[in-house]
Amino acid sequence: MTPNASRRQFFKSTGAVSAAAMLGGVGLSACGGSSGVTALTADEQMALTATQALAAYKAGSMTATAYVTNLINRAKSLTDLNAMITIDEAGALAAAKLVDADRAAGKTLGPLAGLPIVVKDNINTKGMKTTGGTWSLRNFQPTKNAPSVQKLVEAGAIILGKSNLHEWAFGITSTNFTLGIDPITKEANRPCKNPYDTSRIPGGSSGGTAVAVAARFAPAGLGTDTGGSTRVPASFCGIAGFRPSVGNGGQERRYPDTATDALPISTTRDTVGPMGRTVADIALLDSVITGAAVPTAKALKGLKVGIPAAFWASLDDSVKPVADAAKKKLADAGVVFVDADLADIMAQNDKVSFQIALHEPVAAIPAYLTANSAPVTTVAQVQVGLTSPDVVGAFAAIAGDVYGGAYADVMTTQRPALQKLYTDYFALAKVDCVMFPTTLLAAPKIDPVNGSKSLSYTSGGVEQKDKDTFATCIRNTDPCTNAGLPSLSIPAGMTAGGLPLGMEIDGPLGSDANLLAIGMAIEAVWGPLKAPAL
């Protein structure tokens, strides 16, 4: 077999391998390579998904040291994207060399041995700063990993570094006015940029992780999600983003992280979430974090999927053709769509969303700072260093506890009412999940002055002027977060202008494995998006 034929065969074979096969077969023994296996080039290595990278190790077609080196070189060559706050080159290379040595020695390795990942810079990491993209925590270093991070590291994952984000994760653009800025010298702003069009936002608040994965700095990573922060950037950057079940906390929370393991916004809504170029990669990380089996792709023929009209309204004219085409491909594959609306969902969500997100930080932020021995301990001390205009406004509302008086009613009446709308819907419509465009529009332009405070777009030929960017971008992602449901954004297609778009599926509480199984089947029908031209 010629070298090129060998490479084609490798990518063809690994593209058909399930995440379950990867988890069950990788790293259980040494794999020194097979005779005649052709080493992958740097470009081929950077194109690998997480499951493909693990398969490449098993096949002996690359080493962890070579792979990590190529990814770090890629990140360093594209610093203008501002995807990363910290790159741990020395630590990542040391970990990669250890994996290679252990593999050569025939030692038993973890299921993710040598898999490079990035971690959003609001999630605690031992030995690496967790800045939250904000000035008051610029030198803050936690003493231990967040549980989800620890699970991945114990399985052999290698942390390449910490990714950029909207300041304190309190926004949807990742136009961070603090990154690289000294409040005294007022150095220039460095917004996180979309790799498909660097004049546009990547979405937020997990924008840096999305950019790093889309731009091939890493095959996968971790973000966090409060109102859409894994799924909005996934949609804008052409990757997959997952929000696991949270429910009412306790046993209903899928991931083990607590409000002191990542910079908090809402103890009710916050969660860590995996991000990757494929749903199969997300399922793999989810399995390691939870200890659950990796699901296999679900049969699509006869699968019932709800189409709630409220989530399909007011789409940008560039989005609707992509969404309709994605829906048709699934119908052709046998999916049965049920036109059943979630009546009053948006109005009920409005009675819950900000009331939770702007009250719970009053207690959650000081509790996190104190528990982690941070250099500041109060909301007021954090406020002093804030520079992103929208985050300054959010913290003013927190400091004044503007929703404190409404909170009890929200938690005892309004949020349960929202959850009941979903429970009744799934019971009556008899669907496995609902589906709709993750975002109403493709990635908007960066506003370097106000952080994209407002935007305009066209829907049904009618111009929608001066719309609030935050509210517009999270319109479809926010309701399920307030209900605590699992949610997944899947790359669905590209606009005529070449911008990626995602479709979201939400399921009942605790249906995470089923949702991932559906997502893996869907992505097989839609196929991958082309890589950004960088």
pLDDT in tens, 481-533: 999 999 999 999 999 999 999 999 999 999 999 999 999 999 999 999 999 99
pLDDT in tens, 361-376: 999 999 999 999 999 9
The neighbouring-strand residues paired with 468 are 454
pLDDT in tens, 72-111: 999 999 999 999 999 999 999 999 999 999 999 999 999 9
Tell which wins on pLDDT, 303 or 190: 303
Residue 70 has pLDDT above 50, yes or no: yes
Catalytically annotated residue among 58, 120, 129, 327: 120
pTM, rounded to two decimals: 0.94
- Tell me the chain's radius of gyration from C-alpha atoms: 22
Quote the pLDDT of residue 12: 52
State the chain's mean pLDDT as an integer: 92
Domain count, the chain: 1
Quote the pLDDT of residue 189: 60
| Sequence-distant (≥ 6) Cβ neighbours of residue 415 within 8 angstroms | 268, 352, 356, 482, 483
Catalytically annotated residue among 136, 163, 174, 205: 205
| Sequence-distant (≥ 6) Cβ neighbours of residue 482 within 8 angstroms | 269, 349, 352, 353, 356, 415, 418
| Residue 190 domain flag | yes
**Distance (Å, rounded) from C-alpha 80 to C-alpha 188?**
13
Contact predicate 141/124, CB 8 Å = no
First to last CA, the chain: 32
| Residue 304 domain flag | yes
- Strands 158-163 and 336-338, sheet pairing: unpaired
- Assign residue 317 the CATH number of its domain: 3.90.1300.10
| Residue 43 domain flag | no
| Residue 341 domain flag | yes
- For the question of residue 266 being annotated catalytic, the response is no
| Residue 534 domain flag | no
Quote the pLDDT of residue 123: 98
pLDDT in tens, 259-285: 999 999 999 999 999 999 999 999 999
- For the question of residue 205 being annotated catalytic, the response is yes
Strands (E), 12-112: 84-87
| Residue 282 domain flag | yes
Q: Give percent of the chain above pLDDT 70.
A: 91
Tell which wins on pLDDT, 242 or 32: 242
Quote the pLDDT of residue 180: 58
Catalytically annotated residue among 61, 229, 245, 266: 229
- For the question of residue 229 being annotated catalytic, the response is yes
Domain coverage including residue 73: 3-27+48-526
Average pLDDT in the 178-204 region?
A: 77
Contact predicate 296/18, CB 8 Å = yes
- Strands 462-468 and 454-459, sheet pairing: antiparallel
| Residue 34 domain flag | no
Residue 7 has pLDDT above 60, yes or no: no
